[in-house]
Structure 1
């Protein structure tokens, strides 16, 4: 196969969750950070003891060099401002919680990462879109010929949601 040609993408005849679709893209990045999988990052809120479930975030796992079957990596955590001293003091409790979750000695030491962390940065709240009267009229006109009531309502909801997206791009 010439270098210019890309292989045909693998077709799947089933629906996929976003997490499954992105897993192939995320796995190499996570492996560079020392994580074998997404579990520790995806389940951090369930793994970490309170209040560290909201004030810290795993940054990377660093494994001891030269030992093939070494247990006990160093977990580096991003920490919210003002929480670093508390997180460092409670490092053994955080390591124990991680090891308890996985059922074996995964983390031997917990250290703080120099990377910044802002709590709640992943939780952005969007205000609901209020469609204008002209948007409602356009969607109603486009769906008036649909006979099935449930289908018409679903198409109207979709049309109104899409009208909100297009108005954001213009504005």
Structure 2
């Protein structure tokens, strides 16, 4: 059987590697790591990071989530722990975590993706008139925005 030589999505190449690394830390799924900011909230998410899930050896299904948190936010994380446990269990749809164990330490800064550039409203209106009518208004607005961004980039160069 021949392997396809065309382009492949980056997620297909990186996904198994990330899953293996998370599996060694006890995470059966990578969503707890990738969605941590949503689970922990905007205040605690960037100042903490999940390290591993510790599953008990006695066969009990409840796990302990070990979280590294910056020193000044540890007390805040301790107070928010029951809510975070509830959010994790709600996120996954079953009771997998029963408690959070905190480890104080530095949390590496996360690279925040740049905010999307908003196109010039005049260019959006012009592109909207040029593309004509659409049954789906959301699609028409998205295409007009895309067209305005492309025109804006062409004018810069």
Q: TM-score, normalised by structure 2?
A: 0.62
Equivalent residue, structure 2, for 1:27: 19
Which residue of the other structure, out of 61, 71, 95, is the alignment partner of 1:105? 95
Distance 1:105 1:125 in 2: 32
**Cα pair 2:70 2:105 within 8 Å, conserved:** no
| Unpaired stretches in structure 2, ≥5 consecutive residues | 115-153
Cα-Cα RMSD = 2.5
Q: What is the aligned partner in structure 1 of residue 8 from structure 2?
A: 16
Task: Give the match for residue 39 of structure 1.
Answer: 31
Q: Is the 8 A contact 1:81 1:117 kept in 2?
A: no
Structure with more of its chain in helix, by fraction: 2
* Structure 1 unpaired stretches of 5+: 1-9, 127-156, 158-171
1:42, 1:95 → 2: CA distance? Answer: 16
Whole-Å Cα distance in 2 between the matches of residues 110 and 117 of structure 1? 17
Distance 1:91 1:28 in 2: 27
Larger Rg: 1
- Secondary structure (helix, strand or coil) at the match of 2:98 reads strand
Whether the 8 Å CA contact 2:52–2:66 is kept in 1: the answer is yes
Give the secondary-structure state (helix, strand or coil) at the position aligned to 1:64. coil
Supply the distance in 2 between the matched residues of 1:41 and 1:20 (Cα, whole angstroms): 18
The offset of 1:43, in angstroms, is 1.2
> Cα offset for 1:39?
0.8
For 1:103-142, list aligned pairs within 5 A: 103-118=93-108, 121-123=109-111
